[in-house]
Amino acid sequence: MKRRQFLARAGVAAAAPIAAAGPLAAPALAQGKIEWKMVTSWPKNAPGVGINAQRLADRITALSEGRLSVKLYSAGELVPPFGGFDAVTSGAAELCHATPYYWSGKAKALHYFTGVPFGLTAPEMMGWIYFGGAQALWDEVYAPFGVKGFYVGSSGVQSGGWFRNEVKSAADLKGLKFRIAGLGGDVMKKLGVIVTLTPPGEIFAAMQSGAVDAAEWVGPWNDLAFGLHRIAKFYYQPGFFEPGPALELLVDKKKFDALPPILQKVIEQASQATAAETLADFTRHNIEALEPLVREHGVQMKLWPADVVKASGKAWKEVQAEVAASDALTGKVNASFNAYLTKARRWARWSDYAMLRAREDGLA
């Protein structure tokens, strides 16, 4: 799908959810029903993120039988793409679908609840959040701001980024202007990269105008929809900065606590159902998008040169030490994350890694 088509289709589809929610608004309020606003960082109906946010809103509305009706606002409709946290803390919106590290300026520890370079895969991350003590830590980080985060899924392993020219060694990265989010940006800075964090909806334009030389967004499915293959042909794998980044539903804690228990349960369970659906959605669509990228659009799939991975790993250890030292709570979160990751790596060598290798050996 070309970018213009994507935007056009998005525009057409955009009206539907709002129009559908519209007629409900007045009678809903009249019957003592609750209407909440969900802002997002995503363009309207962006594959994966935008559509899954819409499905989460619809799921809460449906499971609550309209007692809690959620209306979605895409990036820029109510607040700017990165304005979700302020919207929820100021009371302008009750909910925000985004990812925790977008608010890392408020609390460094939030990076870990999205994920960090060379960190956890999506199933490992779900294990840490749901059963490894991370939800309690996450609640502790958010408590001073009066908000709470729910895990709502992941893209799975992300891609490393689109480059106009081949990256033959770490030296080729020096001086490049690269759109990259999160701590991966800090890692890249140590490799001499000039890092910018362009909002999702503006990445294509930044690439087209030359404001950036290279950009990472998500993976084949989402990047194809944004049209990044039209500008750069070298597609580097994997996105070792983001092995299993988490999406979040950010909630105004005070308003959440004031809800009847059944509506709290609905938000919690709808988030969990969205977690499964979102991972499935990205996985399936990345699987399908790879072939057209390569066959129809002439994209060259590339693994990072070994020295880029090595240098990035070394740089990440330095960045991680700095991040962990920023405050006591971030140090505590880092320690929990690291302890779990060490064990997760050990198990992955026998399970996921050994399995993917055995699958290739067995079916060869």
Q: Is 361 in the site for its own copies (CB under 8 A)?
A: yes
- DSSP state letters, 82-97: T-HHHHHHHTS-SEEE
Q: Is 345 in the site for its own copies (CB under 8 A)?
A: yes
* C-alpha span between 203 and 217 (Å, rounded): 8
* C-alpha span between 168 and 184 (Å, rounded): 19
User: Which residues inside 71-130 make contact with its own copies, applying CB under 8 A?
Assistant: 117-118, 121-124, 126-130
Q: Is 24 in the site for its own copies (CB under 8 A)?
A: no
Q: Residue 15 or 280: which CB sits closer to its own copies?
A: 280
Minimum CB separation of residue 260 from its own copies in Å reads: 10
Minimum CB separation of residue 317 from its own copies in Å reads: 8
**Angle formed by the axes of helices 352-363 and 328-350, to 10°?**
30
Q: Is 70 in the site for its own copies (CB under 8 A)?
A: no
Minimum CB separation of residue 256 from its own copies in Å reads: 17
Residue 64 structure tokens = 């609550």
Residue 111 structure tokens = 């990076």
Minimum CB separation of residue 223 from its own copies in Å reads: 13
Minimum CB separation of residue 270 from its own copies in Å reads: 7
Of the listed pieces 86-94, 199-207, 232-240, 245-253, which binds its own copies according to CB under 8 A?
232-240
Phi and psi angles of residue 76, each rounded to the nearest 5 degrees, phi first: 90, -15
* C-alpha span between 232 and 198 (Å, rounded): 17
Among 14, 211, 309, 329, binds its own copies (CB under 8 A): 309
* Residue 271, strand partner residues: none
DSSP state of 108: G
Q: Are 141 and 113 in contact (CB under 8 A)?
A: yes
Q: Is 162 in the site for its own copies (CB under 8 A)?
A: no
How many residues sit close enough to its own copies to count as binding (CB under 8 A)?
Answer: 82
Residue 235 structure tokens = 């597609």
User: Which residues inside 269-308 make contact with its own copies, applying CB under 8 A?
Assistant: 269-270, 272-273, 275-277, 279-281, 283-288, 290-291, 301, 303-304, 306
Minimum CB separation of residue 360 from its own copies in Å reads: 7
Strand segments, DSSP code E, in 172-304 are 177-179, 194-196, 214-215, 234-237, 246-252, 300-303
